[in-house]
Amino acid sequence: MKLILINTSSDAASYLAGTVIVPATGTLDVVSDYWFALYTDQAFLKDVRLNNLSISDGIKEYKMPESETYLEYVNTFNYNNKDIDGAIIVRPKAAKKGWSFWAIPIEITTSALAMLYCKTVDGVDIPGISCKIYDNNNAEITTAGVLNANLNTCVKTVIDFEPPFDYEIIGGALRINSNPSQDIRLWIIGAPDIPAQYGGSKEFASGINLKFLAPDSSFEVDGRVTKYLVYNPATHQSKIRVVLKHPAGLQVNLQVVIHLYRQ
């Protein structure tokens, strides 16, 4: 496979900041390393569409619209990405250039106050993460009370995850310190502050009972493909909420790990 550029102009044509130069009324057999880059060069595409350049595969010469169709073909077929049998080697990307994977562990104890642990290696709290507890009337519990009387009324523990940056959510995992003998059920909700009729309040997990986890096992959530979430402090569209409903006062130590890509 070849990509030969044929310049019909009396002036030399320069593309990719002078990396690819086609002589006046001449031809250039382009090295395959530059095929993809040329396809994103607007000056190059303009000359192709104006028929200032025609393209040859070494056998046939193409002009618009065939020339652009041929460019699309070579743009999806990298001649260098082949093994010795001629098969294409595929290297899909999981995230944008410059982005990296981050596993964020959130450690809490249900029916407890000030038990959230989620820090960087420097001991700094990772921002945008909170844990609150509620009683049977859905009122937030903010003090332990005499002899932990308030904590003993807690029936719901809620983790909110809303980091102050854009990210791509992959999935996550949950691991408990010891298996509970009572029902403790898990919900995961995306964009909980936005009503469902407007595209929010999406349930990703619905009432998973942690009582049924095998000893030393974890509950894994894999979204199969990543979802790009844009941080917006007004709409909270990138917030993810983990809700744990349990018997009053039940204390279970657990860790939720959220997997994502971020810049």
Greatest mean pLDDT among 19-33, 61-75, 202-216, 240-254: 240-254
The mean pLDDT of 156-175, rounded to a whole number, is: 94
pLDDT confidence of residue 85: 65
* pLDDT tens digits for range 52-78: 999 998 899 999 889 888 888 877 655
Average pLDDT over residues 158-170: 95
Does the structural domain 100-262 have CATH classification 2.60.120? yes
How far is Cα 70 from Cα 203, in angstroms, rounded to an integer?
45
Parse the chain into domains and list their residue ranges.
4-76, 100-262
Tokens linked to 86? 């001629």
Share of the chain above pLDDT 70, in %: 91
Burial of 151 (0-12, 13-18, 19+ CB in 10 A): buried
Answer yes or no: are the C-beta atoms of 36 and 78 closer than 8 Å: yes
| Average pLDDT of the segment spanning 191-211 | 93
Structure-block tokens of residue 16:
């990719």
CB 94 within 8 A of CB 226: yes
pLDDT the model gives residue 2: 86
* Residues sharing a CB contact under 8 Å with residue 146, sequence separation 6 or more, in sequence order: none
Res 185: pLDDT: 96
pTM of the model: 0.66
Q: How far apart are CA 143 and CA 95, in angstroms?
A: 43
* CA 131 – CA 144 distance, rounded (Å): 15
Query: What's the pLDDT score for residue 32?
Result: 79
> Does the pLDDT value for residue 91 go beyond 80?
no
